[in-house]
Chains A and B, each alone.
Chain A
Amino acid sequence: MAKVLSLAALLGLWALIAWLVQSPLLPSPLSVGEAIVADTRTGELPFQMACTLARVAAAFAIAFTLGVAAGYAMGRSPTIDRYADPWLVVLLNLPALVIIIFAYIWIGLNETAAIIAVALNKFPNVIVVTREGARSLDPNLDEMARAFQFTWQSKLRNVVLPQLAPYLAAVSRSGLSIIWKIVLVVELLGRPNGVGFVLGSSFSLFDMTRILSYAISFVALMLAIETFLVQPLERRTNRWRRRAA
Chain B
Amino acid sequence: MNDVRTDGAAGPLEIRIDTKTYVSAEGKPVEVIRDLRLQLDAFSFGALIGPSGCGKTTILHIAAGLDPDFRGQRQIPGRGRLGIVFQEPRLLPWRTVADNIRLVLPAERSLEELHDLIETLGLGSHLSHYPGELSLGLARRVAIARAFAVRPDFLLLDEPFVSLDAAVAARLREELTTLTQRERVTTLLVTHDLNDAFQLADRLFFLSTRPAGVIAEIPLPPPRGARSKAEIDRIAEEVRSRVPGYFPDSASA
CB within 8 Å for A158 and B92 given contacts A143-B66, A146-B66, A147-B64: yes
| Residue from B61, B88, B95 in contact with A158 in the complex, judged by beta carbons closer than 8 Å | B95
**A242–B103 contact, CB under 8 A?**
no
Question: Is the contact region of chain B dominated by helix, strand, or loop, or is it mixed?
Answer: loop
Interface centre among A143, A150, A154 (most CB of B within 10 A): A143
Please state if B82 and A147 are interface contacts (CB–CB under 8 Å): yes
The answer to whether A162 and B64 have CB atoms under 8 Å apart is no
Residues on B with C-beta less than 8 A from A150 are 103-104
Residues of B within 8 A of A147 (CB): 64-66, 82, 84
Cα-based distance from A162 to B115 in the complex (angstroms): 28
Q: Is B51 an interface residue (CB 8 A)?
A: no
Q: Which residues of B contact A (CB under 8 A)?
A: 61, 64-66, 81-82, 84, 86, 88, 90, 92-95, 99, 103-104, 130, 132-133, 146, 150
**What are 24 A-B residue pairs whose CB atoms fall within 8 Å in the complex?**
A140-B90, A141-B92, A143-B66, A144-B86, A144-B90, A146-B66, A147-B65, A147-B66, A147-B82, A148-B103, A148-B104, A148-B146, A149-B81, A150-B103, A150-B104, A158-B103, A159-B92, A162-B94, A240-B93, A240-B94, A240-B130, A241-B132, A242-B130, A242-B133
Please encode chain A, from 154 to 193, with 1 for each CB lying within 8 Å of some chain B CB and 0 for all others.
1000110010000000000000000000000000000000
A111: min CB distance to chain B, Å: 39
Q: How far is the CA of A224 from the CA of B104 in the complex (A)?
A: 40
Residues in B with CB closer than 8 Å to A140 are 86, 88, 90
Enumerate chain A residues within 8 angstroms of B65, measured Cβ to Cβ.
147
The residues of A with any CB-CB pair to B shorter than 8 Å are: 140-141, 143-144, 146-150, 154, 158-159, 162, 240-242
- Give Cα A158 to B90, complex, Å: 13
Q: How far is the CA of A143 from the CA of B61 in the complex (A)?
A: 9
Q: Which 3 A-B pairs give the minimum distances between C-beta atoms?
A: A242-B132, A162-B94, A240-B94
Contacts of A149 in B (CB 8 A): 81-82
Known: A147-B66, A147-B82, A154-B103. A162 touches B92 (CB 8 A): yes
Question: Given the complex, which residues of B lie within 8 Å of A241, measured CB to CB?
Answer: 132
What is the distance, in angstroms, from B129's C-beta to the closest C-beta of chain A?
Answer: 10
CA distance A159 to B92 in the complex (A): 7
Other than A147-B65, A148-B82, give 13 A-B pairs with Cβ distance below 8 A.
A143-B61, A144-B86, A144-B90, A147-B64, A147-B82, A148-B84, A149-B82, A150-B104, A158-B95, A162-B92, A162-B95, A240-B93, A240-B94
A144 vs B139: C-alpha distance when bound (angstroms): 15
In the complex, A146→B65 CA distance in Å? Answer: 9
Residues on A with C-beta less than 8 A from B95 are 158, 162, 240
Instruction: Please give, as numbers and ranges, the residues of chain B lying within 8 Å of A141 by CB-CB distance.
Output: 90, 92
CB distance from B67 to the nearest CB of A (A): 9
List residues of chain B with CB within 8 A of the CB of A154. Answer: 103
Q: From B147, which residue of chain A is reached at the shortest CB distance?
A: A148
Residue of B whose beta carbon sits closest to that of A138: B90
Q: Which residues of A lie under 8 Å from residue B84 when comparing CB positions?
A: 147-148
| Distance, CA A162 to CA B100, complexed state (A) | 14
- Report the bound CA distance from A237 to B7 in whole Å: 43
Q: Residues of A contacting B82 with CB < 8 Å?
A: 147-149
- Which one of B65, B93, B130 has the highest number of Cβ atoms from chain A below 10 Å of its Cβ? B93
Looking at A144, A154, A159, the one whose CB has the most chain B CB atoms below 10 A away is: A144
Chain A residue nearest to B80 in the complex (CB): A149
**Chain B residues closer than 8 Å to A240, beta-carbon distance:** 93-95, 130, 132
In the complex, A202 Cα to B132 Cα: how many Å? 56
Query: Of all chain B residues, which has the CB nearest A161?
Result: B94
| Measured CA separation A94–B160 after assembly (Å) | 55
Closest A residue to B143 by beta carbon equals A144
State the Cβ distance, A117 to closest chain B Cβ, in Å: 37
Chain B residues closer than 8 Å to A158, beta-carbon distance = 92, 95, 99, 103
For the complex, what is the distance from the CA of A154 to the CA of B92, rounded to whole Å? 12
